[in-house]
Amino acid sequence: MRNGKKISAIIPVYNEEKTIESILLTLISIDYIDEIVVINDGSNDRTIDVLNKFSKYENVRIINHIQNMGKGYALYNGIINAEGDILIFLDADLIGLTKFHILKLVNPLICDEADMVMGYAPKDKELINLLNPFKSLTGERALYKKDLFPIINIIKDSGYGVETIINKNYNKKRVKLINLEGLKHPIKTQKVSNKKLCFIQFSKEAKEIFLTNVKLSIIKKLKNSKMNVGLER
């Protein structure tokens, strides 16, 4: 099924002791996944204890950050350390992940039907249908590692704006949006019971996404400015 391509699954995780184990159990049961790279981004709950259970598996690599570096840096570290040609990105808070979901993400790449596949949980369907797929911030994706090289350093410092950057990189490529039926992706209020902490975390994510859009806009303007100067000469 892999068409000669090596496949790596990359999972950035921060304080997901309740869900990361079931995700890893699903992934290690899939024979066409060559490598599972988990980036523990400074978790301070029992996440590290759960991850240590999987250190005995040869195809599981665990990278520990001493402190929380943000989602962008965690994905960056996973990308540069992954050996696969095809990368599968998964959030660590998913509930109900199955082999079928992974197959739906990977198969369009193997069959050369897409350059990137983006999966969404059913509860997100109504919202996403109202938006351009390139504005979707889903963490469930499959893509080719080589396509990320031009933006790898931008990803590093992007925080929660990482999906926005990746979407922009695929603006002129073939992108397929698929429904991952049966998959559940908890919303922020379901994960953080303290309303104040929930608001702080949500505000942080929104700020990082906003700043990423500003940065991309500035880069685009500078690029256009240089092109115009070149034409004038």
Question: Tens digit of pLDDT for each residue in 79-137?
Answer: 999 999 999 999 999 999 999 999 999 999 999 999 999 998 776 545 544 444 444 66
- Tell me how far apart the alpha carbons of residues 14 and 11 are, in angstroms, rounded to a whole number: 10
Contact 179, 126 (CB under 8 A): no
Q: What residue type is 193 in one-letter code? A: S
pTM of the prediction? 0.82
Q: What residue type is 111 in one-letter code? A: C
Residue 83: both structure tokens together: 């050996």
Q: How confident is the model at residue 171 (pLDDT cuts 50, 70, 90)?
A: confident
Q: How many CB atoms lie within 10 A of CB 64?
A: 13
Contact 117, 142 (CB under 8 A): yes
Which residue, chain included where needed, has tokens 């599968």?
A: 88
Q: How many CB atoms lie within 10 A of CB 215?
A: 16
Computed over every residue of the chain, the mean pLDDT equals 83
Q: Do β-strands 86-89 and 140-144 pair in parallel, antiparallel, or remain unpaired?
A: antiparallel
- At the topology level of CATH, where does 7-186 sit? Spore Coat Polysaccharide Biosynthesis Protein SpsA; Chain A (3.90.550)
Q: In the chain, what are the domain boundaries?
A: 7-186
pLDDT digits (tens, 9 = 90+) for 8-62: 999 999 999 999 999 999 999 999 999 999 999 999 999 999 999 999 999 999 9
